[in-house]
Amino acid sequence: MNRLWGLAIGILSIAHVAIAENQPVPPVAQSQPFTVVTHGDSREDNYHWLRDDTRKNKAVLDHLNAENQYAAAIGKAWQPLSRQLYKEMSARQAQDNYSQPWQNHDYTYQSRFPEGADYPLLMRKQGDGEWQPVMDANPRSKGHAYYAISRYAVSEDNRYLAIAEDTRGEGQNQIAILDMQQQRWLPDTLAQTSGDMVFSRDGSAIFYVLNHPQTLTPYRVMQHVLGSGAADRQVYQEDDDSLYTGISRSSSGEYLIITLSGNDTSEARVLSLSVPQAEPKIIRARVKGQEYYVDHNNGQFYARSNIWDKNFGLYAFGYPEEKWHTVVAPQPDRELENFFLFDRWLVIARRSGGQTHFARLTLADGKWQDLTFPDNSYMARPGSNGNAAATTFNYIYSSLDKPLGYYQWDLNDGQSRLVHQKQVPGVDLSLYRSEFVNLPARDGESIPVSLVYRKDLFRKGENPLLTYGYGAYGISLDAAFSAPRVSLLDRGFVFALVHVRGGGEKGINWYLNGKKEHKPNSFNDFIDASRGLVEKGYGSPDRLYGMGGSAGGLLLAAAVNQAPELFKAVVLQVPFVDVLNSMLDKTLPLTQQEYEEWGNPNDPVAYRQIKAWSPYDNLTPRAYPTMLVTSGLYDSRVPYWEAAKYVARLRTVNRNPSSQILLTTNMQAGHGGRSGRYSRLEDSAQAFSFLIHLDNKNSQTPGAPR
């Protein structure tokens, strides 16, 4: 009774402050008793009713709309700023429509954005001929509140174009096929697919992957014969719900590669794309904890694998039964991340010292050459390299203060040249400085941090500081330029990417030490690095802000639970915050695939470990900072109800009468938010204007940058 009375007093005090300041009162989600018992442990989930798998429950939709209305009412204070930021961001983007061309035999393809358009126009040319329009996505987007083209595929003879379209943002793609020779769309449409697709060598059929009707996990490889009207043939079905099924064309063009991949286990099958009724043949049977990823060229298969070493090596072999031979041996502290096959060369991507490095092997003489980069912290990623006969390796390069550049590495002479430099109209790049620092964690580990700020607005110890993190799946949060972020830097913010454990920035051990039972290291790293940045003068202690999305939203929410006093405000974008409940529900997308990331709470030990840090389960009465929490109604990766439940419970325990907890749900989108290249900027403008307005309102530092 005392606890309930305290909660009631907290809610009333917040309401009284809102009334006194003549502000809207936040919606109050009804508390409906719902008890969850697991391993004899009882938990109350009184906002369980906010989950609606159909997305049609009136009470739930009414609540989400009420939250949107409340956020809009509070957000009126910074809407003029939001419109200004959107205008700035649009101006920086509108005049550079370049995308990297890609080759398919004697045709070259390129996506271009018509002036002011949200979606691309696909162009092509044959040889040195004139560019011709192929497909305009803008008319196809009409009538859809959300629209995205997930992938393109072109038949070997350049007659057919297949596109995978998502019209709700939930990862369910419909495949449509265009006869480019006759400029007509075929009646063939393939629904509920992952978006992966590969044409047979003669272009008469297309392979694709169906999603599971319940979990949306890609699981069935199908073969569709164009225009036949015949039932599609099932090529392969994966019954292990912990594995994703993906397909690709080998670099040689000879094989369809079926890859089954989980968090730490994979398996591959291949079939000939020249034989209409070919059956897939397994490369190597799966073993728990072992991964290998296959390609084929020059008459042999290659596999990047950790079977013999956690840092991965590269191996070559003949047909699946033959012995594997080492091409690139595993190396300590250097993880082999990827490889690319050419007719005369092999290019590999390795990660060491927190950065990606490329190296090429000339197959004729066995000589290696490394490609070096000028910055201490940067992003280097492969570009379009689907043509094995090419003599150049395409890659993209950027740093926090250098816009994206498209480069070609000449594999003959080893020279690299800039093909196109992204332009950022109205921005003087000389005004900005990036830095790379290492900060100590509480256990003695060294946490890398990438920073960027505007030099003429930087005053040591005074600036607003925004720390951003992710830290999951071994994904590296590489330091790349962001044109929208300039609006933040131009108002005095220092932006910091905190490369916490759980990511892949420092290799495989960095990832392993931030997953499952080691997940708390990620949260500790983020807190310790944020404090360390303030101590070094990169920001004012009362002007520290945090931001993260999806698994990064989990990172931020857990960090706030540990140290709510540290942050002035936090932005959580589609945050994975109800971890325990979601990981106990294997009917949800991703759950079974992610047991090896977060732990399987069906095991009592893992249950206790997750419960100890799951953000939703660790909300307790204390003073929380102001928060903006976003979600998408059709999000299949992190369902909208995680954010809705989190905000509902957070408001009941928040003891800070001056903080505001805002929830916005995009009622027509999924995990990625808005879909068009311009409309996506609205999400950035919303988040940045929220932070800038709050900083301007609360900062009392004389002469501090705004």
Mean pLDDT rounded to a whole number for the chain: 92
Say if residue 514 is in the same domain as residue 595: yes
Same domain, 580 and 528: yes
CB 473 within 8 A of CB 522: no
Characterize the bridge pairing of strands 626-632 and 661-666: parallel
The token duo for 250 is 């080998």
d(CA 119, CA 360): 36
- Asked if the structure places residue 636 within a domain, the reply is yes
Last residue of a domain, one of 424, 443, 469: 424
Residue 261 is assigned to a structural domain of this protein: no
Higher pLDDT, 219 or 116: 219
Active-site annotation holds for 252: no
Other CB atoms within 10 Å distance of the CB of residue 183: 10
| pLDDT class of 20 with cuts at 50, 70, 90 | very low
Same domain, 556 and 665: yes
Confidence at residue 228, expressed as pLDDT on a 0 to 100 scale: 87
* Banded model confidence at residue 145, pLDDT cuts 50, 70, 90: confident
Rounded Cα–Cα distance for residues 46 and 34 (Å): 5
550 is a catalytic site residue = yes
Q: Please, is 625 exposed, middle or buried when counting C-beta atoms within 10 Å of its C-beta (0-12, 13-18, 19+)?
A: buried
Q: Treating both helix axes as pointing N-terminal to C-terminal, what angle do 520-535 and 551-562 enclose, rounded to 10 degrees? A: 70
Average pLDDT on 330-350 reads 96
Query: What pLDDT, in 10s, does the model give residues 604-615?
Result: 999 999 999 999
Q: pLDDT above 90 covers what percent of the chain?
A: 84
Residue 201: is its pLDDT beyond 90?
A: yes
Q: How many Cα atoms are found within 13 Å in the side-chain-facing hemisphere of 619?
A: 24
Of 424, 453, 487, the domain-final residue? 424
Residue 2: pLDDT band with limits 50, 70, 90? very low
**How large is the average pLDDT for residues 195-215?**
96
376 and 498 part of one domain:
no
- Enter the tokens of residue 432: 């900005």
Segment holding 173, helix H or strand E: strand 173-179
The residue from 45, 401, 478, 635 that is catalytic is 635
Distance, in Å, from the CA atom of 199 to the CA atom of 201, rounded to the nearest integer, reads 6
Q: Which domain holds residue 410?
A: 331-337+346-424
What pLDDT, on a 0 to 100 scale, did the predictor assign at position 376? 87
Each residue of 160-174: pLDDT tens digit?
Answer: 999 999 998 878 999
What is the per-residue pLDDT for 4? 33
Query: What is the reported pLDDT for 632?
Result: 94
User: Which H, E and C letters describe 516-550, residue by residue?
Assistant: HHHCHHHHHHHHHHHHHHHHCCCCCCCCEEEEEEC
Catalytic residue among 63, 224, 671, 693: 671
pLDDT at 672: 65
Nearest residue to 388 via CA among 340, 338, 317:
340
pLDDT in tens, 180-193: 999 999 999 899 99
Percent of the chain that is helix, strand, coil (3-state, to 5): 25, 35, 40
The pLDDT of residue 313 is 98
Q: Are residues 566 and 610 in the same domain?
A: yes
DSSP at 609: H
Looking at the domain assignment, is residue 112 inside a domain? Answer: no
β-strand pairing of 300-305 with 292-297: antiparallel
Regarding whether 453 and 398 lie in a shared domain, the answer is: no
What is the pairing mode between strands 494-498 and 335-341?
unpaired
Q: What is the pLDDT of residue 6?
A: 37
The CATH number that applies at residue 57 is 3.40.50.1820
Q: Which pLDDT band, with edges at 50, 70 and 90, does 208 fall under? A: very high
* pLDDT of 13 over the 70 cut: no
Total tally of structural domains belonging to the chain: 2
Q: Residues 519, 606: one domain? A: yes
Query: What is the Cα gyration radius of the chain?
Result: 26
Q: Among the options 305, 434, 550, 699, which is catalytic?
A: 550
* Residue 474 pLDDT greater than 80, yes or no: yes
Residue 546 lies in a domain: yes
Q: Residue 592 to residues 147, 286, 472, 484, 584: CA-CA distances in angstroms?
A: 28, 17, 16, 36, 9
At residue 15, the pLDDT reads 45
Q: Which residue has the tokens 């002007």?
A: 543
Say if strands 35-38 and 41-44 run parallel, antiparallel, or are unpaired: antiparallel
| pLDDT score for 700 | 54
Residues 537 and 458 sit within 8 Å (Cβ to Cβ): no
Q: Is 544 part of any domain?
A: yes
In the predicted model, is pLDDT for residue 31 greater than 60? yes
365 and 507, same domain (yes or no): no
> Does 638 reside within a domain?
yes
Q: Per the domain annotation, does 565 fall within a domain?
A: yes
Percent of the chain past pLDDT 70, that is, above it, reads: 95
At 317 the three-state DSSP class reads strand
Which residues, listed in sequence order, are joined to residue 568 by a DSSP beta bridge? none
Judged against a pLDDT cut of 80, whether residue 670 lies above it is answered with no
Is 646 among the domain residues?
A: yes
Q: What is the pLDDT of residues 282-316, one digit of tens each?
A: 999 999 999 999 999 999 999 999 999 999 999 99
> How wide is the angle at C-alpha 497 spanned by C-alphas 491 and 500, nearest 5°?
155
3-state SS of 210-233 is EECCCCCCEEEEEEEECCCCCCCE
Looking at residues 475-480, what average pLDDT do you find?
A: 91
Is 415 a residue whose pLDDT tops 90? yes
Instruction: Looking at the structure, tell me whether residues 371 and 445 fall in a common domain.
Output: no
| 542 and 395 in a common domain | no
371-395: string of b/e by CB count within 10 Å (b at 16+)? beeebebbbbbbbbbebbebebbbb
Q: Which residue has better confidence, 697 or 403?
A: 403
CB burial class (10 A; 0-12, 13-18, 19+) of residue 563? middle
Under the banding of pLDDT at 50, 70 and 90, the label for residue 675 is low
Chain position carrying tokens 């292990």: 240
pLDDT digits (tens, 9 = 90+) for 500-523: 999 999 989 999 999 999 999 999
Quick one: average pLDDT of 258-267? 96
In the structure, what pLDDT confidence band is assigned to residue 146 with cuts at 50, 70 and 90?
confident
Query: What does the alpha-carbon distance between residue 628 and residue 599 come to, in Å, rounded to a whole number?
Result: 28
Domain-ending residue, one of 371, 389, 424: 424
* pLDDT, position 77: 96
Domain identity same for 549 and 666: yes
460 with 552, same domain? yes
User: What's the rounded mean pLDDT across residues 18-44?
Assistant: 88
Beta bridge partners of 624: none
Q: What is the pLDDT of residues 78-118, one digit of tens each?
A: 999 999 999 999 998 766 678 899 999 999 999 988 887 88
- pLDDT band at 331, cuts 50/70/90? very high
Beta-carbon count within 10 A of 349 CB = 20
pLDDT at 673: 61
Residues 635 and 172 sit within 8 Å (Cβ to Cβ): no
Query: According to the model, what pLDDT value does residue 319 have?
Result: 80
